[in-house]
Structure 1
Amino acid sequence: MASSVTEPRPSDSSPAAGAAAEPGETTPPGQRRKGLSEKNRPLWLLIPGGLLMTLVILVPLAMGIWMSLIDLDQYTLRQWVNAEFIGIQNYIEAALSSELLRSIWLSVSFALISTVVTVPLGVAAAVVTQNAYRGRAVVRSIFLIPYVLPSFVVASVWRTMLQPDGIVNVTLTNMGMGGGLWLNGPNAYWTLVWVEIWAAWPFIYLLALSGLQAVDHEVHEASALDGALWWNKLRYVIFPYLKGPVSLAFLLATLNHINNFTLPYVLFGAPAPSDVNVLPILVYVTSFQSFRFGLSAAMAVVSLILIAIPLFIYLRAVRLDVHEGGKK
């Protein structure tokens, strides 16, 4: 009777299946060896996103920087590859011979004023609509109307209302206050600030409301049992939870105000009055009305640096905060 032959079972001391062989050792037949391709396989998943980012962001950015270093206008546009390389002369002309510095001041001041006003408005609206009550859904819907309307619709409506014979001047005249020129002259700047505040504060409201939803219900109950007043509850219970969302909202809102092109363009036209000639309008006019493409590219690069500064400060602060929290 033939005895059955059984294959030897691997002992406990044998290397685990799939483990990499030591140098000088041979991998047994049939055993799969993990190489660098399998170890780094997740990195291959980044290729589609990396290619898309390269085509959509990096390539246009490199072309914009190159355009800012050449003498590119309507005469050299058809053969822009052969345009004369002039280095930083476009940047020098933008700083000394154009309205770039004034436009930067207008954009930054306009953005900061708008953000400083919209943040408390958005937080207050979020606090008002946090707790459930009859009609809260209607109030929330009304609060979101300025945000869901497209920017060109908002600018068109306000442009019609602020005409010399528009509803705003008619209402002020009937109230005995008199009207004025809102789309030209010194009032144009404050008109831009007002319309931007009206259209932008619901964004702060949404982020603040999302932060309030993260507050634990037990925290509200504990503060109520302790008899905390509403102001102390807001200051020591609610506001600490809003630190992150409000900081992010402050940054995003400021950058959005600086980059806002549609609202001033539709509201005032191009070229805009000197009091509202913000940076996006200046870049547009220089490029598509004066046809100084190299000069406008230099202005665009300056605006990119201007936007990157607060973004870098915020990311740095968040990184330090995370590290300090980890040490604790």
Structure 2
Amino acid sequence: MITGIWMSFLQLTGAFIANWTQAPFIGFGNYKIALSVTNAQGAALLSSFAITCAFTLLVVGISWSLGMAAAVALQRTFRGRAIFRTIFLVPYAIPMYAGIIAWKFMFQQQNGVINQILVTLHLANPDSLPFWLIGPNAFISVVVVGIWRTWPFAFLMLMAGLQTINQDLYEASALDGAKPFRQWRSITLPELGGVNRVLVLVLFLWTFNDFNDPAILFGEGQPPAADLVSFHIYNNSFINLNFGFGAAMSTLLLVFLMIVSAAYLLFVNRRSARA
């Protein structure tokens, strides 16, 4: 980490990569470029940051919602519950690269499963099938894959948390006339407070730093609509060979995530203390 931060103060380009310690020292020059919206590089970073924020909000929010719904649905014992638990955990068990490559084939325009389903349901015209891996739809594709990979982990954590809740609380509330939604709001959510605090933070950090989804889905030709910040930094560092600027953006990302994490922990800890 210290080496990466030091690199951010150097004009480290491909010309100096053989002996990077001899690269010229330019101080905060890389940071000024990254934080300036008046130049192309700074504007591109700001756009990538905004896309990543939207991506993170959607993936974390929907993944948590799906995980909570599945965990609550499988809380009670019924025939076939073990089968549903196994099916729900399949995306988490499949090797990451194999799963994302499968989605890449499914998103193909001509022979992809997604477009074939849309045609079958009469939601798409066979003569003008949508592109999912280029153009504006690329953002939808990377969000779908992110949710598919993330929500089983949320389900697993929440399901484990539900096992620690005393079932007598639900029985007593049912006798008092509480409906399922009231039980969820008044019992399940408060009892899962500790699990949710950790889960949301972990999901946020994983998703905001996500590199694998865009790298496997799009390769080096990442569309602007899905320009996530981790892959944006990679392109500037290893494609454009501007390692100093890439290190500066990485350091800024590190500082941002540390500030958000500290603020989040401070907020939830104060709420817990008041509660």
Fold-level similarity (TM above 0.5): yes
Distance, in Å, in 2 between the alignment partners of 1:194 and 1:322 is: 33
Aligned counterpart, 2:120: 174
Give the CA deviation at 1:144: 0.4
Distance, in Å, in 2 between the alignment partners of 1:91 and 1:307 is: 17
Map 1:105-116 onto structure 2 (within 5 A): 105-116=50-61
Map 1:74-223 onto structure 2 (within 5 A): 74-96=14-36, 97-98=40-41, 99-165=44-110, 166-178=112-124, 179-223=129-173
C-alpha offsets along residues 246-281 of structure 1, whole Å, 9 cap, x if unaligned? 232222112211111011110111130111111111
Give the CA deviation at 1:116: 1.5
Query: Taking structure 1 as reference, are residues 218 and 271 closer, same or farther at Cα in structure 2, changes over 3 Å only?
Result: same
Distance, in Å, in 2 between the alignment partners of 1:150 and 1:304 is: 27
Q: Structure 1 runs of 4+ off > 6 angstroms?
A: none
Equivalent pairs counted in the alignment come to 265
Distance, in Å, in 2 between the alignment partners of 1:107 and 1:264 is: 11
Give the CA deviation at 1:322: 5.8
The one-letter amino acid of 2:29's match is: Q
Distance, in Å, in 2 between the alignment partners of 1:240 and 1:319 is: 14
The one-letter amino acid of 1:88's match is: F
Aligned counterpart, 1:66: 6
The one-letter amino acid of 1:312's match is: A
Structure having the higher Rg = 1
Higher relative contact order (Cα pairs below 8 Å, separated by 6+ residues)? 2
C-alpha offsets along residues 296-328 of structure 1, whole Å, 9 cap, x if unaligned? 000111111221122101221344356557xxx
The one-letter amino acid of 2:118's match is: L
Sequence identity, in percent?
Answer: 35
Give the CA deviation at 1:156: 0.4
Map 1:15-54 onto structure 2 (within 5 A): none
Distance, in Å, in 1 between the alignment partners of 2:207 and 2:262 is: 17
Aligned counterpart, 1:51: none
Q: Secondary structure at the match of 1:182?
A: coil
Distance, in Å, in 1 between the alignment partners of 2:251 and 2:50 is: 16
Distance, in Å, in 1 between the alignment partners of 2:192 and 2:223 is: 38
Distance, in Å, in 2 between the alignment partners of 1:95 and 1:322 is: 36
Give the CA deviation at 1:70: 0.7
Residues 8 and 30, structure 2, Cα contact 8 Å, conserved in 1: yes
1:309 aligns with 2:259: yes
C-alpha offsets along residues 217-239 of structure 1, whole Å, 9 cap, x if unaligned? 32123223323222222221222
Distance, in Å, in 1 between the alignment partners of 2:195 and 2:260 is: 16
Question: Unaligned stretches of 5+ in structure 1?
Answer: 1-60
Residues 53 and 208, structure 2, Cα contact 8 Å, conserved in 1: yes
Query: Taking structure 1 as reference, are residues 78 and 303 closer, same or farther at Cα in structure 2, changes over 3 Å only?
Result: same
Distance, in Å, in 1 between the alignment partners of 2:103 and 2:272 is: 43
Map 1:255-274 onto structure 2 (within 5 A): 255-274=205-224
Distance, in Å, in 2 between the alignment partners of 1:318 and 1:177 is: 44
Q: Secondary structure at the match of 2:17?
A: coil
Distance, in Å, in 1 between the alignment partners of 2:214 and 2:64 is: 21
Give the CA deviation at 1:204: 1.3
Distance, in Å, in 2 between the alignment partners of 1:245 and 1:314 is: 14
